């Protein structure tokens, strides 16, 4: 079969187009598009309503180019028949449908899910409204059977030049594994919760069956075989089966001895019933009985034909079921038969889930046996066992060493009724006080050891009643082992987190350059969800008296993303220092990325600001638009992406846009982690950001504090990088502050930024900061009945001299002459030439200082 028919032999169809006849963009996309690029080039499109590629519309050409260059899973449907296009990354998504689906109407190859997919595609084409769904369910036949699968999907319209919609762009990400994993975790959690409440052994089977009946997608049916009150093996619970499917019991022959050996008669039966959890006799063929008997005696898990278990195989159930052992305290007590869904592959994860279901039942059976054995013991002992289970769950949720110690100490109190517990590890310590008087020496001292046997800490317990501690010593010893293992995990996590944090910060600038006429500030917040480094970065460069601000985000996380980020940061810095404007620098960066062996994608925005002229030039590679802040007015610097992400489309040319920044105007650059919020959409989150950016603040660092306040206190799935710039007067700054001593820190920060930007030496910076701060403190403290509760500060630099003036309104109270506060003017005079002018309008203190060479 030729490639024109979706074959593998590579023959060129007679109707195919030669390379020279293709549009340049399409030819480049085919060349760089991997296997699917070759198949799209070789497909006989002239035999379809789309016609040869040389006649394709520009919308189709650009859509195909974007699809082939993307590393996301993309399928595209074009025309009224929804002819299918897809890239290399998408091939595993459709399995055996590849390559036959290429170029064919979607209805022919997605027939099993067309009742879902068809209306979605038609809706996007008809309305022009994109559709996005998370964990959207589909049924696909991609491996020879109908399979339940889930995807995060985005269906977006593709418009022709005239505005009509002729295609749908579908970006998908299969989430089947996660959906199934979360669903099965919920099933296990519910099963465990239901079983832990069972107080009567006769209720264990029905309770398990009721829990499993709520999860038929993964357990179509289940049969629970446990000893009855007479000690014989009986069907004590069944799930997923209607009453009509439970028929009269048949005598078991051949393997009956195996069942009898478990401890009961040769028949396997139970009382009749109809609802989930109730049971009725189920006939067993001899082979199934043999398997069940072997597993119930403690043999390994096995498979059995469903037809040997049930009179009719229910719809959606695989032909074979699993027979899993049920144990209590490591002793065999019964068996669990788990039906397998015919619409899910029996993967290792699915098998592990089934094993965990049996393990939950085994744990419940073990607990039940323990309850029965200890029924006559004091209630305190039973509560201690439950407390140990709660303590184990609690300590396993702690992540850091400090959290482990805190949880362990508090739960150890409950395990023993102790009056004092101290837990120590790796220089950390936590003490819990239960009330009462403790002896000098602890009642119990237990080591906390990891999996290798190394001692990581110590658990010390003090109690009033020595008997109480002794009765709980076994529980304490088990809890101590759990604490030790969790401490080991916590220390590993903390080590990884320190390494990740160190690596991340080593790739960010240690300090930000300052130039006259501009003030910059930055903030970086790592993701709170994991210890991996991210790909967010920022940079500030000072070429030839100007200021270049860069912020970017590499797709992905981990060391690879961090390495790509470091390469992009250094390359872009080099292009900027070579004198290229923002657009040309991004163009060269894109060319470098597209030529790399390991392709990466990144969004980047690059701005170049000339403080002297107030001129701003910028270019963007798919990055969220910076905010332009003028007083209370906040707008987007640009209303659309000026270019695609770096690495997305080879040979892209990024243009430089010119603008101006007036004095007092601020720019806020950020990565998308700042506006990602599961509770809000992007538009709402961006609106919230614009509102936060209007909060008043005398310094750009106040602006950053305002916009990161929301994300700083909540869990973050992504890193957040923020960079802010304020255009100021090059050789002068003025500031009005409330007459509040707590605001002097803002003055010191602004003054230091201003002096450093003018390359004032460290000694002069220190002396001037001290002098001006003291003058401002006097202007706040001394005036009586000021006309305004504010002070004004003005500082200029010219001809190697700094002139600072501090003004207030009001009459100064007479100095007392006592204490340091009475020597403020003397201190200022010692640091420069001081002039004090007093009038009815207020006092003006002027300091002149000649800068050191």
Which of 65-74, 219-228, 366-375, 689-698 is predicted least confidently? Answer: 366-375
Mean pLDDT of 675-696: 83
User: ∠ at Cα 719 (718, 725), nearest 5°?
Assistant: 135
Mean pLDDT taken over the chain = 81
391 closest CA partner among 487, 475, 457, 485: 475
- pLDDT of 277 reads 42
Higher-pLDDT residue of 672 and 253 is 672
- pLDDT of 529 reads 54
Q: Answer whether residue 815 shows pLDDT above 60.
A: no
- pLDDT of 532 reads 57
Mean pLDDT of 57-84: 93
- pLDDT of 624 reads 92
pLDDT tier at 824 (50, 70, 90 boundaries)?
low
- pLDDT of 110 reads 92
Give the tens place of pLDDT for each residue, 561-585: 777 888 888 999 999 999 999 999 9
Give the tens place of pLDDT for each residue, 219-263: 999 999 998 877 788 888 999 875 445 432 223 323 333 343 333
How far is residue 123's CA from residue 126's CA, in Å, rounded to a whole number? Answer: 5
pLDDT tier at 779 (50, 70, 90 boundaries)?
confident
How far is residue 726's CA from residue 715's CA, in Å, rounded to a whole number? Answer: 30
Q: Residues with Cβ < 8 Å from 814, sequence gap 6 or more?
A: none
What's the whole-model pTM score? 0.44
User: What does each C-alpha distance from 64 to 56, 169, 432, 594 come to in angstroms?
Assistant: 10, 10, 64, 18
- pLDDT of 330 reads 84
- pLDDT of 382 reads 61
Which of 44-53, 259-268, 731-740 is predicted least confidently? Answer: 259-268
Give the tens place of pLDDT for each residue, 488-535: 888 877 776 666 666 666 767 877 887 888 889 888 888 765 555 677
H helical segments located in 160-233: 176-196, 204-213
pLDDT tier at 823 (50, 70, 90 boundaries)?
low
Instruction: Give me the half-sphere count of Cα atoms (radius 13 Å) on the Cβ side of residue 825.
Output: 15
> What is the token pair recorded at 403?
């959290």
pLDDT tier at 784 (50, 70, 90 boundaries)?
confident
pLDDT tier at 675 (50, 70, 90 boundaries)?
confident
Task: Say if CB 296 and CB 332 are below 8 A apart.
Answer: yes
- pLDDT of 391 reads 76
- pLDDT of 243 reads 43
User: What does each C-alpha distance from 31 to 5, 19, 27, 54, 62 come to in angstroms?
Assistant: 20, 10, 6, 15, 14
57 closest CA partner among 139, 135, 160, 149: 160
- pLDDT of 439 reads 76
How far is residue 356's CA from residue 362's CA, in Å, rounded to a whole number? Answer: 9
Contacts of range 21-26, beta carbons closer than 8 Å, 24 or more positions apart: 21/52, 21/53, 21/54, 22/53, 22/54, 23/53, 23/54, 23/56, 23/61, 25/61, 25/62, 25/65, 26/53, 26/56, 26/61, 26/64, 26/65
- pLDDT of 381 reads 58
- pLDDT of 85 reads 96
Specify the DSSP element, H or E, that contains 427. Answer: none
Instruction: State percent of the chain over pLDDT 90.
Output: 34
Give the tens place of pLDDT for each residue, 19-33: 447 888 999 999 999
- pLDDT of 466 reads 52
pLDDT tier at 62 (50, 70, 90 boundaries)?
very high
Instruction: State percent of the chain over pLDDT 70.
Output: 85
- pLDDT of 155 reads 95
- pLDDT of 652 reads 93
Burial class (CB in 10 A: 0-12, 13-18, 19+), 378: exposed
pLDDT tier at 40 (50, 70, 90 boundaries)?
very high
How far is residue 223's CA from residue 208's CA, in Å, rounded to a whole number? Answer: 10
How far is residue 820's CA from residue 156's CA, in Å, rounded to a whole number? Answer: 71
Mean pLDDT of 181-187: 92
> What is the token pair recorded at 782?
């001394």
- pLDDT of 376 reads 54
Q: Answer whether residue 63 shows pLDDT above 80.
A: yes
pLDDT tier at 469 (50, 70, 90 boundaries)?
low
Higher-pLDDT residue of 99 and 247 is 99
Q: Answer whether residue 215 shows pLDDT above 50.
A: yes
Mean pLDDT of 2-9: 36
Q: Answer whether residue 771 shows pLDDT above 70.
A: yes
Q: Answer whether residue 698 shows pLDDT above 50.
A: yes
Q: In what order do the strands lie in the sheet with 222-227?
A: 233-239, 222-227, 331-338, 320-328, 302-305
Q: Answer whether residue 5 shows pLDDT above 60.
A: no
Q: Residues with Cβ < 8 Å from 633, sequence gap 6 or more?
A: none
Which of 295-304, 320-329, 511-520, 743-752 is predicted least confidently? Answer: 743-752
How far is residue 349's CA from residue 363's CA, in Å, rounded to a whole number? Answer: 20
User: ∠ at Cα 836 (797, 732), nearest 5°?
Assistant: 20
H helical segments located in 374-525: 379-397, 401-416, 466-471, 473-506
Other CB atoms within 10 A of residue 111 CB: 12
Task: Say if CB 689 and CB 707 are below 8 A apart.
Answer: yes
* Torsional class of 75: left (φ above 0), alpha (ψ -120 to 50), beta (otherwise): beta
- pLDDT of 178 reads 92
pLDDT tier at 6 (50, 70, 90 boundaries)?
very low
Which of 37-41, 75-79, 540-544 is predicted least confidently? Answer: 540-544
Strand partners for 331: 328
- pLDDT of 9 reads 40
pLDDT tier at 367 (50, 70, 90 boundaries)?
confident
Q: Answer whether residue 106 shows pLDDT above 80.
A: yes
Q: Residues with Cβ < 8 Å from 435, sequence gap 6 or more?
A: 419
């Amino acid at each position: 079969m030729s490639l024109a028919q979706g074959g593998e032999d590579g023959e060129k169809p007679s109707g195919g187009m030669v390379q020279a006849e293709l549009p340049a963009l399409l030819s480049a996309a085919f060349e760089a598009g991997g296997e699917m690029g070759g198949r799209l080039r070789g497909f006989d499109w002239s035999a379809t309503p789309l016609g040869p590629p040389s006649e394709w519309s520009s919308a189709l050409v650009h859509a195909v180019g974007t699809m082939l260059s993307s590393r996301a899973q993309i399928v595209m449907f074009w025309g009224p028949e929804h002819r299918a296009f897809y890239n290399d990354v998408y091939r595993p998504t459709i399995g055996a449908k590849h390559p036959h689906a290429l170029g064919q109407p979607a209805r022919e190859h997605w027939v099993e899910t067309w009742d879902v997919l068809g209306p979605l595609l038609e809706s996007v084409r008809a309305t022009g409204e994109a559709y996005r769904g998370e964990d959207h369910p589909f049924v696909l036949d991609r491996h020879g059977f109908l399979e339940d699968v889930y995807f995060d999907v985005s269906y977006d319209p593709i418009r022709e030049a005239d505005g009509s919609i002729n295609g749908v762009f579908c970006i998908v990400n299969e989430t089947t594994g996660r959906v199934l994993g979360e669903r099965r975790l919920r099933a296990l959690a519910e099963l465990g919760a239901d079983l832990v409440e069972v107080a009567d052994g006769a209720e264990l089977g029905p309770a398990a069956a009721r829990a499993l009946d709520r999860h038929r997608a993964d357990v179509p049916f289940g049969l629970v075989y446990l000893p009855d009150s007479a000690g014989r093996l009986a069907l004590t619970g069944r799930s997923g089966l209607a009453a009509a499917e439970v028929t009269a019991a048949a005598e078991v022959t051949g393997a009956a001895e195996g069942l009898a050996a478990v401890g009961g008669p040769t028949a396997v039966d139970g009382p009749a019933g109809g609802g989930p959890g109730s049971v009725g006799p189920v006939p067993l063929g001899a082979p199934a009985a043999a398997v069940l008997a072997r597993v119930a005696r403690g043999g390994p898990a096995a498979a059995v034909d469903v037809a040997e278990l049930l009179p009719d195989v229910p719809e959606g159930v695989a032909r074979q079921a699993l027979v899993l052992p049920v144990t209590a305290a490591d002793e065999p007590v019964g068996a669990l038969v788990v039906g397998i869904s015919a619409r899910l592959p029996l993967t290792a994860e699915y098998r592990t889930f089934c094993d965990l279901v049996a393990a939950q039942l085994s744990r419940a059976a073990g607990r039940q046996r323990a309850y029965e054995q200890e029924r006559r013991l004091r209630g305190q002992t039973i509560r201690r066992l439950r407390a140990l289970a709660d303590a184990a769950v609690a300590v396993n949720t702690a992540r850091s060493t400090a959290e482990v110690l805190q949880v362990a100490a508090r739960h150890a109190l409950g395990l023993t009724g102790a009056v004092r517990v101290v837990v120590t590890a790796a220089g950390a310590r936590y003490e819990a006080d239960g009330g009462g008087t403790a002896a000098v020496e602890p009642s119990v001292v237990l080591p906390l050891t990891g999996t290798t046997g190394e001692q990581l800490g110590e658990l010390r317990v003090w109690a009033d009643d020595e008997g109480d501690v002794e009765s709980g010593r076994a529980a304490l010893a088990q809890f101590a082992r759990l604490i030790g293992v969790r401490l080991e995990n916590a220390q590993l996590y903390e080590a990884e987190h320190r390494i990740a944090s160190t690596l991340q910060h080593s790739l960010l600038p240690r300090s930000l350059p300052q130039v006259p006429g501009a003030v910059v500030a930055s903030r970086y917040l790592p993701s709170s969800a994991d210890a991996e480094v991210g790909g967010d970065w920022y940079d500030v460069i000072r070429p030839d008296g100007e200021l270049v601000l860069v912020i970017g985000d590499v797709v992905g996380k981990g060391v690879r993303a961090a390495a790509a980020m470091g390469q992009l940061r250094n390359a872009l810095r080099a292009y900027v220092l070579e004198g290229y404007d923002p657009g040309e620098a991004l163009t060269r960066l894109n060319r470098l990325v597209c030529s790399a062996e390991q392709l990466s994608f990144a969004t980047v925005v690059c701005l170049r600001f000339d403080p002297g002229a107030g001129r701003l030039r910028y270019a963007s590679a798919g990055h969220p638009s910076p905010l332009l802040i003028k007083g209370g007015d906040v707008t987007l610097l640009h209303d659309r992406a000026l270019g695609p992400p770096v690495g997305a489309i080879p040979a892209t040319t990024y243009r430089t846009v010119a603008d101006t920044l007036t004095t007092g105007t601020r720019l806020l650059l950020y990565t998308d982690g700042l506006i990602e919020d599961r509770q809000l959409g992007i538009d709402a989150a961006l609106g919230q950001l614009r509102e936060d950016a209007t909060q008043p603040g005398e310094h750009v660092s106040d602006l950053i504090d305002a916009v990161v306040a929301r994300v700083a206190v909540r869990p973050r799935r992504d890193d957040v990088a923020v960079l802010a710039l304020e255009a100021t007067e090059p050789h002068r700054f003025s500031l009005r502050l409330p007459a509040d001593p707590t605001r002097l820190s803002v003055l010191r920060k602004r003054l230091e930024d201003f002096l450093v930007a003018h390359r004032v030496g460290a000694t002069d910076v220190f002396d001037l900061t001290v002098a001006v701060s003291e003058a401002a403190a006097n202007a706040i403290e001394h005036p009586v009945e000021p006309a305004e509760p504010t002070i004004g500060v003005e500082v200029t630099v010219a001809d190697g001299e700094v002139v600072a003036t501090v003004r207030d309104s009001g009459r100064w109270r007479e100095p007392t002459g006592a204490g340091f506060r009475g020597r403020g003017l003397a201190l200022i005079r010692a640091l420069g030439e001081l002039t004090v002018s007093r009038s009815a309008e207020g006092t003006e203190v002027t300091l002149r200082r000649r800068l050191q060479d």
